[in-house]
Structure 1
Amino acid sequence: MKTRTTRSLLAAAALAAALTACHSAAPREAAAHKQAAHDSEPASATRDTFTAHRTAIIPRPLKTQAQRGQFEFDANTPLQVHVGQAGERRVADYFAAKVRALRGFAPVVSETQTASTNARDAIALSIEPELAIGDEAYVLDIQSDGVRIRARTEAGLFYGAVSLWQLLTADGGQGAIRIAAQRIEDAPAYPWRGVMLDVARHFRSVDEVKSVIDQMALHKLNTFHWHLTDDQGWRIEIKQYPRLTQVGGCRILAGANGRDAQGKPRPYCGHYTQEQIRDVVAYAAARHITVVPEIEMPGHAQAAIASYPNLGVTDVVRKAPRVSPDWGVHTYLFGVDDSTFTFLENVLDEVAGLFPSKYIHIGGDEAAKDQWIASKKVQARIKSLGLKDEMALQSWFVGRIGQHLQTHDRILLGWDEILEGGRLPANATVMSWRGTAGAVEAAREGHDVIVAPDRQLYLDYVQSDRDDETPGRFPASTLRNFYDFSIVPAELTAQQSKHVIGAQANLWSEHRRGFDRVQTTLYPRLDALAEVVWSPTANRDWNDFQQRLAPQLARYRAQDVLVSDVAYAVSFKLIDGADGQPQLTLSNQAGFGEIRYRTDGGDPDPTSPRYRQPLPATLPLDLVATTFFDGRPVAAPRRFSARDLAGLSRRTSAGLRPCREGYNLRLEDDAARDGGRDGERAALTVNLIDPCWIYPAAALDGIGAIEVQVGQLPYNFQLWHDTDKIVTRKAVQGGALEVRLDDCKSAPIARLPLAAAKRSDGITTLRAKLPARDGRHDLCFVFASGTHDPLWALDAVTLHPAE
């Protein structure tokens, strides 16, 4: 859905754009960059720990009041619940298990008649239906002689226990702990606090899905939107239609990913049985999370039509399509025959039996109408229904599905395209993804709205322009961007704003082959999202959030959850000093913490020199830097290394500038660097319209040769009406990379034939001589290959002195 992309943190040296370059004589292992300091000793009572923020809770509570003293928590602290109160007991058992996982011991749960009042030296949990607070609200009262958590409902008590767990684990240690006495009164700002996970493009196991749900629960998020069907896969068992998973649950991946070691097609398959679906739904419910299924219609239906071709526009499509290996906007739509609606209604009947959620998401987005327009049968149906056009037909389609969902007492939920073409069912809810215009329109028409705008809350955008960034779309959507998001559109009146029931972040998975990429895409932006949907805007404070996030990053590592550290990773930039000699500046994206460095290639520690001003880039150079907060690293070390001037000239994929905006992506290569199936894969910055890149202000004095690493990827993208915008250049010498000076339309000053690169699925090094030039010039690189498939990309460019 909605052209999206991504990849896990790679081991590489870091740098920013423009004159910033990546120089790594010996790249680090990928695992070291997936987790900051992951190979350090485990949390223990004896090692250094964070100085805990008084209220180290994410999301930030509504109201906190400091009290005098501290509460001491250890293995002898009892956890009290009322006799016979099953909800309290469930929360207590969950809390005890979470404490054991991080502190190394579990408090003993005891049942008592007076748990809410007899809390001396104990933690007492109490559900009190008469409390004058909201259903998800809680009161957490920490005194030196005991702790009480009170709530009207089990959900509220659960969230109070999560807050206490965060306080008790904020120091990053094990064993006993003291926490500051304080009173917390807390409640969510919005009832819908969601995350969407796309498992159609890349399938995720039940355990992986549960891992996401676990982290949602620990952030007080309460809605898991499960994107189960799309053009690339049908992932839910429907007993009446077994071919949906037998056929629709498998595809052949594009490029080298789709071939085995013998070069034969290798199916990529996966689906959930109904038993597994029920298991996930129950698992989420135990954590006060509702699972909302999405079954796409009328578009994004290619996998379903591949399974049952009669569901499509049969007078236009004469044979079954394959389950798509491509990303982008597809043109296969469900037909509008009564038999197709019988199929859809039967599917929704089984879905409704699996998911107790009052909402069922029917998609409704990106329904390219080409086949409906070309179909005589569909045009006849439009005429017989007295409809204006294909847009009105989709509105009728949505209305008919909405009527069926009402027979199950369910609410139709769809992307904002369901607003087009006519009136929605009165109780339909709109999820606004194309900005917030859909939210404004729907709220003004009296429909409830969930905001999920792509540029603000889509997780498939990259988090930085670093060279070790995971694949995704550009421009970057940073941790700060997520944190600064405002849910309610300014155009709405106070009354209309009441229809905005919340927000969610959407994780599309086209380029997230492994669960490591899912995790580093989610975290820590999930923390920012949690605060946006729970905490009132007036309560949010970016600097305070970062101080609370520092211990949360340690919690992730203690739970073996991978987390992106790019917000705090050190970036390097080369500049000219006052004396004309190169200098190196150090920074991090968030502008947080202390940067410490070493120049001997070793990893910095809290006693290493603190960065305060540009450093001389004296060759040979091997500088390693890390961001610290409160004496502990909040990111993995990053290295800037160069042995000679050629090393200083090196620019990697992320350090080059695209010739045009739009359709710029960072993609993972479909094979390892050496062309094999296993091993490190390059992350390449590409443009789907024009493979053209600029090395800005290259210093060409004394340069006589150029070395370029190039890669090719399968062009598995469907751009719909933008396909005719793709630029191809006439092949020269059987296909070549052309280097042009200053102007991308100028005559080439060098050509690097692609013959060797065409024979490899991996990265190929090309070399050519350059004519002598003085001063600084932009170098423009264009691929003259005669075709747009494969998609060519640059991995790195290095300038070499003349011999």
Structure 2
Amino acid sequence: MLKKIFFVCLLVQQMAAQSVLPLIPLPEKVTPGNGNFTLDSKTVIVAESGSFEAKFLRDYVESTFGLRLKITSVPAAKGVHVIAFQLQIPDTTAFDSEQYVLDISAERINIAAAASQGQFYAVQTVIQLLPTDKTKSVRIPCLRITDRPKFKWRGMHLDVSRHFFPVDFVKRYIDYLASYKMNTFHWHLTDDQGWRIEIKKYPKLTQVGAWRNGTMVGHYNEQRYDTIKYGGFYTQQQIKEVVAYARERHITVVPEIEMPGHALAALSAYPELACTDGPFEAAKGWGVFEDVFCPKEETFTFLENVLSEVIELFPSEYIHIGGDECPKTRWKSCAHCQGLIRQLGLSDEHELQSYFITRIEKYVNAKGRKIIGWDEILEGGLAPNAAVMSWRGTEGGTAAAKLHHNVVMSPGSHCYFDQYQADPASQTQPIAIGGLITLEKVYSFNPIPEALSEAESKYILGAQANVWTEYILNEDHVEYMVFPRITALAEVLWGTADPAKFNDFTKRLSLHRKRLDTWGVHYCKLPFTN
């Protein structure tokens, strides 16, 4: 009798395990079917000629299982297992470009979407359903999925100014975003510690500004530095290469060019743009520095010329202009700045910053683009068409949404992946800036504040996590800080996260862990120990 009970319990456990699909983010609706679709060397992919999504799936299957699937635009013969891509949606009248319907039967996988973007997300779902080991029998469970995201902006940020990362890693980072159906890569390209983008009109930005004469070692509180020259930058050709790579994966690259603060690297190359004579050098340490761009005509000419080249390189709707942490010390003692305040009838230096941002916005708008900036751009008055990225909590984003400005939520409380993942006192974690953001805390995040009405909440485009790299020196460390927290954020932004079902999420994540191992990702293993 006991043996029978044990056998029944074991069977129930196995069935429960099989019913958990390793899908992240969780699709909007999953209807289980019976049986499996089996991939073999005779399986045919039917898609429009030149379909990137079809080639992406074929290449993944070949690299993982050694199966080279044929792609054709001609319907396959009867009896052949088919993976069919259709640019249409059955039984629906309105369909967003990111939506898809995935039907898997024993004979056929049907991917239906109104646009290639939806097809790409369906492919990512299919890949997550594939085995993680190299097996001779590649089976995918039969089911039907109807799926679409909740938020328009589903992003990740990477700071390459404090520490620089090569193009190959940036592409790999983009691949990670694509795997979780994220669609925005925020590339933080300039700061006090280094200017990382080639600007042909101003070659000294990379000849001089891309390099610093040492770097802070250890934590900020220790105030220790080495004397090793450090730097690097991306050529415009490399920028184009990354943007094209991201575009194929339906990811928009949003560049950030910091102003009026965080400008020391630029000022080291062109000191005439400051309020004082300098001399300046790219910062060796972290923090906020008092030397910033001076709002004089030659500065605006410089920034407009820089932005002109940036806009040519990046087709994104938004250009990020920073706007955060700009001390007013130099402006307060600058004769030009004080004269400009009187001339324009401004109240103070905060309104001078608003003038600065508004003037930049007019230029960017004239080029057919929009600006987005950190929530400090609210101070002194928000530029007319600006979007706000809310990082000092959600209050700035709430205020901007009430003013009917678009908002991307990125609060330090939930979305700063440079913070610790576990109590630093446990001595299990590499050095970090501070704070504590666990996997569960990320999963609990709601980008829409309760203070907003239904109409106001429509201005919340979505959210993103930020990876500031003061304490992140190499690629493995970036991955460690990102994984597995990116998986929780992806589900939040897809709109299917439910904090009350966090345990269900972790069950799927435990299955998904095998894929992280297959990818060779360096991830924090603590969330998997419970």
CA–CA distance in structure 1, aligned partners of residues 478 and 431 of structure 2: 11
CA–CA distance in structure 2, aligned partners of residues 96 and 353 of structure 1: 33
Partner residue, 2:481: 521
Q: Do 2:417 and 2:466's aligned partners in 1 also have CA atoms closer than 8 Å?
A: yes
Q: Do 1:247 and 1:306's aligned partners in 2 also have CA atoms closer than 8 Å?
A: yes
Q: Does 1:251 align with 2:206?
A: no
SS, match of residue 281 in structure 2: coil
Q: Does 1:531 align with 2:497?
A: no
Q: Does 1:177 align with 2:138?
A: yes
Partner residue, 2:9: none
Residue 118 to residue 300, structure 1, CA distance change in 2 (3 Å) = farther
SS, match of residue 155 in structure 2: strand
Partner residue, 1:380: 339
- Amino acid paired to 1:457: C
Partner residue, 1:500: 460
Q: How does 1:404-553 map to 2 (within 5 A)?
A: 404-425=363-384, 427-465=385-423, 466-537=426-497, 541-553=501-513
Partner residue, 1:56: 22
Partner residue, 1:292: 254
Greater fraction strand: 1
Residue 539 to residue 189, structure 1, CA distance change in 2 (3 Å) = farther
Partner residue, 1:74: 40
Q: How does 1:330-369 map to 2 (within 5 A)?
A: 330-369=289-328
- Amino acid paired to 1:460: D
Q: How does 1:155-234 map to 2 (within 5 A)?
A: 155-169=117-131, 171-234=132-195
Aligned match of 1:139 in 101, 116, 119?
101
Residue 255 to residue 460, structure 1, CA distance change in 2 (3 Å) = closer
CA–CA distance in structure 2, aligned partners of residues 392 and 239 of structure 1: 32
- Amino acid paired to 1:547: K
CA–CA distance in structure 1, aligned partners of residues 322 and 233 of structure 2: 19
Residue 255 to residue 55, structure 1, CA distance change in 2 (3 Å) = closer
CA–CA distance in structure 1, aligned partners of residues 414 and 105 of structure 2: 40
Displacement of 1:118 in angstroms is 7.3
Deviates more, 1:92-101 or 1:147-156: 92-101
- Amino acid paired to 2:522: L
Q: Do 1:141 and 1:149's aligned partners in 2 also have CA atoms closer than 8 Å?
A: yes
Q: Do 1:434 and 1:453's aligned partners in 2 also have CA atoms closer than 8 Å?
A: yes
Q: How does 1:108-147 map to 2 (within 5 A)?
A: 108-112=70-74, 114=75, 121-128=81-88, 132-147=94-109
Q: Do 2:216 and 2:286's aligned partners in 1 also have CA atoms closer than 8 Å?
A: no
Displacement of 1:540 in angstroms is 7.5
Displacement of 1:492 in angstroms is 0.3
SS, match of residue 213 in structure 1: helix
Partner residue, 1:748: none
SS, match of residue 46 in structure 2: strand
% same residue = 42
CA–CA distance in structure 1, aligned partners of residues 499 and 136 of structure 2: 32
- How many equivalent residue pairs? 505
Q: Could you list the per-position Cα deviations for residues 652-686 of structure 1 after superposition, in whole angstroms to 9, with x for gaps in the alignment?
A: xxxxxxxxxxxxxxxxxxxxxxxxxxxxxxxxxxx
CA–CA distance in structure 2, aligned partners of residues 176 and 330 of structure 1: 60
Displacement of 1:122 in angstroms is 1.4
Aligned match of 1:390 in 334, 349, 352?
349
Q: Do 1:54 and 1:180's aligned partners in 2 also have CA atoms closer than 8 Å?
A: no
TM-score (norm 1): 0.61
- Amino acid paired to 1:560: G
Partner residue, 1:797: none
Partner residue, 1:279: 241
Deviates more, 1:66-75 or 1:374-383: 66-75
Q: Does 1:91 align with 2:53?
A: yes
Partner residue, 2:3: none
Deviates more, 1:139-148 or 1:530-539: 530-539
Partner residue, 1:25: none
Q: Do 1:102 and 1:174's aligned partners in 2 also have CA atoms closer than 8 Å?
A: no
Residue 255 to residue 179, structure 1, CA distance change in 2 (3 Å) = closer
TM-score (norm 2): 0.91
Q: Does 1:270 align with 2:232?
A: yes
Residue 53 to residue 535, structure 1, CA distance change in 2 (3 Å) = farther
SS, match of residue 47 in structure 2: strand
**Unaligned 5+ runs, structure 1:** 1-49, 258-262, 570-590, 592-803
Q: How does 1:602-751 map to 2 (within 5 A)?
A: none
Q: Do 1:312 and 1:333's aligned partners in 2 also have CA atoms closer than 8 Å?
A: yes
Displacement of 1:538 in angstroms is 5.1
Q: Could you list the per-position Cα deviations for residues 196-231 of structure 1 after superposition, in whole angstroms to 9, with x for gaps in the alignment?
A: 000000000000100100111111000000000000
Greater fraction helix: 2
SS, match of residue 465 in structure 2: strand
Residue 256 to residue 133, structure 1, CA distance change in 2 (3 Å) = closer
Partner residue, 1:65: 31
Displacement of 1:374 in angstroms is 1.5
Q: Do 2:62 and 2:68's aligned partners in 1 also have CA atoms closer than 8 Å?
A: yes
Displacement of 1:377 in angstroms is 1.7
SS, match of residue 567 in structure 1: helix
Q: Do 1:139 and 1:186's aligned partners in 2 also have CA atoms closer than 8 Å?
A: yes
CA–CA distance in structure 2, aligned partners of residues 311 and 467 of structure 1: 45
- Amino acid paired to 1:302: L
CA–CA distance in structure 2, aligned partners of residues 405 and 525 of structure 1: 34
Q: Do 1:53 and 1:547's aligned partners in 2 also have CA atoms closer than 8 Å?
A: no
Q: Do 1:129 and 1:153's aligned partners in 2 also have CA atoms closer than 8 Å?
A: no
CA–CA distance in structure 2, aligned partners of residues 78 and 547 of structure 1: 33
Residue 126 to residue 255, structure 1, CA distance change in 2 (3 Å) = closer
- Amino acid paired to 2:63: A
- Amino acid paired to 2:110: R
Q: Could you list the per-position Cα deviations for residues 472-503 of structure 1 after superposition, in whole angstroms to 9, with x for gaps in the alignment?
A: 13332111111111110110000000000110
**Unaligned 5+ runs, structure 2:** 1-15, 219-224
- Amino acid paired to 1:509: T
Q: Could you list the per-position Cα deviations for residues 731-789 of structure 1 after superposition, in whole angstroms to 9, with x for gaps in the alignment?
A: xxxxxxxxxxxxxxxxxxxxxxxxxxxxxxxxxxxxxxxxxxxxxxxxxxxxxxxxxxx
